[in-house]
Chain A
Amino acid sequence: MINSKAEALGIIFPNSYDSLVPDLVSERLMASIPFASRYRMCDFMLSSMAQSGIDNISVIVRKNYHSLLDHLGTGREWDLVRKNGGLNIVPPFAQKQVKMFEGRVEALESIRGFLKKQQEKYVILSDANIAMNFDFTELLDAHIKSGADVTMMYRKQEIPESLKKLGRDKMELYYSFGMNGDRVSKIYINPGEDGEMNFSLNIYVVERERLIKMVDEGYLHGCTYFVRDILDKQIDSLDVRGYCYDGYAACIFDTKSYFEENLKLLQEENLNALFSGNQIHTKIRDDNPTRYINGSCVKNVMVADGCVIEGEVENSVLFRGVHVGKGAKVKNCVLMQDTIVQQNASVEYVITDKNVTITEGRSLTGNDSYQVYVAKGQLV
């Protein structure tokens, strides 16, 4: 057979780090948070995988997944409609498991039967809180070439402050690696130190049969988390390698980083870094082009289709269908789908969720260190 697809299947965990952004996920999950004017977070991982030839992708959802199901549909937009493979959304299997799964070990155990039946030799696992545009064949090739048991992606960067804080408060796990050449010699769990580290992106590749065996053993021994409970315990006996990613990545760790990562895309070099590789696909809404009406004034903005701009907009990201009325002022904002800023209203350092209306003449102001978040459907 002509080798047109990658020798790996993908597994995405769309609920990872939900607890870091309680506002944004109150009616959705991490993977379906709107990002970059017309996408959802999971679009980046799905598009990257699909265009790297991975056309068998499972999304193991945990809770709050209505919006994700609506967004993904059959997976057509990402070219993931296949008789064999394609997009596979796995909800929790309520009768089998009394409690909701916590970590990747339990989640993977719940799809053991599925994993057993697949043809692909390797499995790539990932979260959905990172927007990146990556050719996964590079990771896969590196893994195959090295003959490692597990290859984990990391990025040289400081640990985000919010992650350190939430790691302490909410027991969300994050990792950094001690490297010896390209081997991971030590895994640091929730490191609190300052300075650049080999920060884990929680993306790793492992042979499918091997993964099943590891998960089986781990499950029997009451393991929950794949990295903490399996890899870290066996780091000396396993051949675990690191793959350093030095491309663009927008990671969402809290509401502030969500805001900042959106606004960072107003700089052309960042926009190009994220979008010049594979095309990032998303659900189509069939909006008309955006209309600028006489009297509008815009500076340094990213605006999706379907907007009507009559007022002033500066340093902001506008999602599809936003309406900025006459005399309204929008500055340093992220306005999600169908937000309406009525006449002479003014918003600064504000994040509005979907379908928010800022009524005539009202003003709402946050500042650069704390942005005001307005929940879905609210009328201000």
Chain B
Amino acid sequence: MAKELVAMLLAGGQGSRLYALTQKLAKPAVPFGGKYRIIDFPLSNCVNSGIDTVGILTQYQPLVLNEYIGNGQPWDLDRLYGGVHVLPPYQKASGSDWYKGTANAIYQNIAFIERYDPQYVIILSGDQICKQDYSDFLEFHKSKGAEFSVAVMEVPWEEASRFGLMVADENDKITEFQEKPKEPKSNLASMGIYIFNWDILKKYLVEDEADPNSENDFGNNIIPNLLRDNRDMYAYHFNGYWKDVGTIPSLWEANMEVLDPEHSGINLFDENWKIYSRNSGMTGHRVAENAIVEDSMITDGCNIKGTVKHSILFAGVTVEEGAVVEDAVIMGHSTIKAGAVVTHCIVAEHAVIGEHAVVGAKPEGDGVGEVATIASNVTIGANAKIGPDAMVYEDVKEGGEQ
């Protein structure tokens, strides 16, 4: 039986601008929002949209991601036919290759897609925070009779030159594509989410592979080639919450926006569009007698005896007596020891902040500013001082500064 639509999720990115957070794990596996990882968003979108076949293309540090995806059960993607498949590069009779680019990653898995004989393929990005109904996107694609559609967001004109831009006519038909242009002709930024008719995608992937000068990239090669051939290309307007959490400040900011769903538009409390994840299985969190918790999100297994303000605590975080956590993102199983002050920062998983240590500081003036970051499994010694712009990869001794 053929599938109407197969999703291919690009999850091989290193996320090099997340520095300390992506040393040992791929960007899609970076924790987000108290109990999720970034990849939970596209995966949950798939399931909620009725897509039951997802190929996940991995390459960089796949260990955590592979274990996390497992058989796909947390997302209801453990299916007899279809379901979720992790697709790393593999060896073939004719040799083997890493994924050279986004298009090449799909090219190397043409055989996977053909097994389901789909009419359409949706290409998703594993490093965005976004709640989106892909079935609505597919309806648009069909109603336009498109061969290729791209989801676009309106961005402020002054920021437009940071994005790949689609120039479209009044019928949403794409007439031009500008990659990070100095003089933007449009403010419709590509979200990197595409729907192709499978026969078209396959044709262009094969042609692209045959071109020795190609970078094998969707944005740089496939889309320009489609335009060159005057294919039926349409821009699908999306106006929900969308954030590319590619940098430490943007990741921090997106987490803070979760705390204020009424204004930010990212609502994780939506019964009709649940974001699924692999749960910690820990007991309910505990707030002690003298603790203070204000304007925060706290996950199962936390033990709070200090003060937590405007912060996100992942599963199993301990905040000891007298410790103060403010404007911070504290990932799973980390410990903030007594008297430590942790402000405006990201602390990755299994880190220990020593007694009376100081991490990060509020930036002067408005804006996100610098966000101090502590890598996973790092121990910050007692009384150490970690500056607001620090990126800490290794243990810091007692009283040390960074």
Contacts and interface: CB of A to CB of B under 8 A. Distances in A.
B283 A38 contact: yes
A300 B300 contact: no
Contacts of A296: 293-294
B35 to A, nearest CB: 5
A302 B286 contact: yes
B283 A288 contact: no
A243 B297 CA distance: 44
A317 interface: yes
A271 B34 contact: no
Given A284-B74, A286-B276, A288-B268, A279 B284 contact: no
B300 A38 contact: yes
**Which of B34, B277, B279: most chain A Cβ within 10 A?**
B279
B284 A289 contact: no
Contacts of B277: 286
A32 interface: no
Contacts of B268: 288-289
B288 A300 contact: yes
Given A288-B34, A290-B297, A296-B293, A36 B274 contact: no
A280 B303 CA distance: 17
Contacts of B73: 76
Contacts of B300: 38, 304-305
B298 interface: yes
A300 B287 contact: yes
A352 B391 CA distance: 48
**Which of B34, B286, B303, B312: most chain A Cβ within 10 A?**
B286
A189 interface: no
Nearest to B262: A293
A298 B293 contact: yes
B284 A37 contact: yes
B291 interface: yes
A39 B282 CA distance: 10
A302 B284 contact: yes
B295 A289 contact: no
A317 B288 contact: no
B281 interface: yes
Interface string B30-68: 000111000000000000000000000000000000000
B289 A300 contact: yes
A66 to B, nearest CB: 22
Contacts, number: 99
B298 A289 contact: yes
A294 interface: yes
A305 B299 contact: yes
B284 A294 contact: no
Contacts of B295: 292-294
Contacts of A76: 73
Contact of B283 (A280, A289, A293, A298): A280
Given A302-B283, A318-B284, A292 B276 contact: no
A292 B292 CA distance: 11
A228 B303 CA distance: 45
Nearest to B73: A76
A246 to B, nearest CB: 22
Contacts of B33: 288-289
Given A281-B281, A289-B33, A291-B269, A268 B286 contact: yes
B77 to A, nearest CB: 14
Nearest to B259: A291
B220 interface: no
B296 interface: yes
Interface in B2-43: 33-35
Contacts of A96: none
A305 B268 CA distance: 12
Given A284-B74, A288-B35, A289-B35, A303 B297 contact: no
A284 B279 contact: yes
Nearest to A291: B297
Interface string B262-285: 000000110000111101011111
A266 interface: yes
Contact of B297 (A36, A284, A292, A294): A292
B275 A288 contact: yes
A275 interface: yes
A282 interface: yes
A201 to B, nearest CB: 22
B283 A271 contact: yes
A303 B284 contact: yes
Nearest to A47: B281
A171 to B, nearest CB: 36
Contacts of B276: 286
Interface string B133-172: 0000000000000000000000000000000000000000
A288 B269 CA distance: 6
A289 B275 contact: no
A299 interface: yes
A23 to B, nearest CB: 22
A271 B302 CA distance: 12
B299 A290 contact: yes
Interface in A289-322: 289-294, 296, 298-305, 308, 317-319
A289 B312 contact: yes
B203 to A, nearest CB: 40
A36 B282 CA distance: 11
A266 B299 CA distance: 17
A37 B276 CA distance: 20
Given A76-B73, A305-B35, A292 B294 contact: yes
Interface in A101-122: none
B279 A303 contact: no
B289 A317 contact: no
Given A76-B73, A294-B294, A296-B294, A289 B299 contact: yes
A288 B296 CA distance: 13
Contacts of A317: 284
Contacts of A284: 74, 279, 281
Nearest to B284: A37
A302 B286 CA distance: 4
A308 B74 contact: no
A250 to B, nearest CB: 13
Given A289-B35, A289-B312, A302 B293 contact: no
Given A279-B282, A286-B276, A288-B34, 13 more contacts: A266-B286, A268-B288, A268-B303, A280-B281, A282-B281, A284-B281, A288-B268, A294-B294, A299-B291, A300-B287, A302-B283, A304-B285, A305-B299
Interface of A: 36-39, 76, 266, 268, 271, 275, 279-282, 284, 286, 288-294, 296, 298-305, 308, 317-319
20 contacts: A268-B286, A284-B74, A286-B74, A286-B275, A286-B277, A286-B279, A288-B275, A289-B34, A289-B268, A289-B297, A290-B297, A290-B298, A291-B297, A292-B298, A299-B290, A301-B287, A303-B284, A303-B298, A305-B284, A308-B269
* Top 5 closest pairs, chain A to chain B, by CB: A37-B284, A289-B34, A304-B284, A289-B299, A288-B268
